[in-house]
């Protein structure tokens, strides 16, 4: 059964800002394939479920706004000990805005609780995130 990971995107103001930061980083290579990565302190105990099609859902400014498909998990050594590298596909997929409270680290996200992907070419970004989330909660979007 697939499970997702929910992570705060600290210091990032928007999906566009995350895309700019990702584009500014040199492409990393793993088995001949480019990927994005995030280093986290804990290795998921449910790693097998995460690797069965899970995604990392990014919480930006209090709302889940985007996701990236997880393509691998790897233990890496750092100056402060062993950590987990979450390797993700380079495609950043926008999702419906879903409010989330701050938390430390990451959390598991059940597929039934994950926000839906926005259709390609959706121009929802003209609306402020808070407004689009409120309109969606009212059933107007």
Q: Residue 92: CB partners within 8 Å, gap ≥ 6?
A: 15, 18, 19, 22, 66, 67, 68
* Among the listed residues 32, 42, 21, the one whose alpha carbon sits nearest the alpha carbon of residue 92: 21
CA dist 91 → 15, 16, 107 (Å): 12, 13, 21
Q: In whole angstroms, give the CA distance from residue 67 to residue 54.
A: 10
Report yes or no: 138 and 118 within 8 Å, Cβ to Cβ: no
The total of structural domains in the chain comes to: 1
> What pLDDT, on the 0 to 100 scale, is given for residue 138?
63
Strand partners, 108: 5
Q: Which domain holds residue 104?
A: 4-137
| pTM, rounded to two decimals | 0.82
What pLDDT is stored for residue 96 in this prediction? 92
| pLDDT tens, N- to C-terminus, the chain (141 residues) | 999 999 999 999 999 999 888 876 655 555 566 788 899 999 999 999 999 999 999 999 999 999 999 999 999 999 999 999 999 998 999 999 999 999 999 999 999 999 999 987 665 555 667 777 776 666 555
């Amino acid at each position: 059964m697939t499970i997702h990971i929910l992570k705060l995107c600290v210091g990032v103001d928007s999906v566009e800002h995350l895309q700019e930061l990702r584009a500014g980083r040199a492409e990393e290579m793993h088995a001949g394939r480019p990927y994005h990565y995030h280093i986290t302190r804990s290795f998921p105990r449910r790693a097998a479920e995460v690797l069965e099609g899970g995604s990392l859902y990014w919480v930006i400014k209090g709302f889940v706004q985007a996701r990236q498909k997880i393509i691998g998990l790897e233990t890496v050594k750092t100056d402060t000990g062993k950590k987990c590298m979450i390797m993700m596909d380079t495609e950043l997929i926008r999702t419906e805005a879903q409010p989330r409270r701050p938390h430390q680290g990451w959390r598991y996200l059940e597929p039934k609780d994950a926000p839906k992907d926005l259709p390609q070419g959706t121009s929802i970004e003209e609306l402020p995130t808070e407004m689009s989330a409120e309109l969606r909660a009212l059933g107007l979007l």
